[in-house]
Amino acid sequence: MAESAEGAPSGGATVFACPDGPLLVRGSFTVVDQNGEPVPRNRATVALCRCGGTAIAPWCDGTHKVNGYRSDG
């Protein structure tokens, strides 16, 4: 399988919802901000916040562990 500039496999992304935690996104994808501008990323796999408490949005900083966030599954 071909790799992107970030070293991720090309051809799409895989999203894994961690129980009571972030969304892990792996593969070929672009994260954009509210203005449609690409958000730089340094890794092929990133953790996106679901709890809303992160100080480094859109990335997870582990705040879900202390703020009591619980997923539905």
Residue pLDDT, tens place only, 38-60: 999 989 899 999 999 999 999 99
| Domain extents in the chain | 1-73
Question: Whole-angstrom Cα distance, residue 3 to residue 54?
Answer: 30
pLDDT given at position 72: 84
Question: Cis bond leading into 58, ω under 30°?
Answer: yes
Task: Give 12's Cβ-side CA count (13 Å radius).
Answer: 2
Strand ranges (E), 1-73: 13-17, 23-27, 45-48
**Res 4 pLDDT > 50:** no
**Res 5 pLDDT > 80:** no
Other beta carbons within 10 angstroms of residue 64's beta carbon come to 22
**Res 11 pLDDT > 90:** no
User: In terms of CATH architecture, what is 1-73?
Assistant: 3-Layer(aba) Sandwich (3.40)
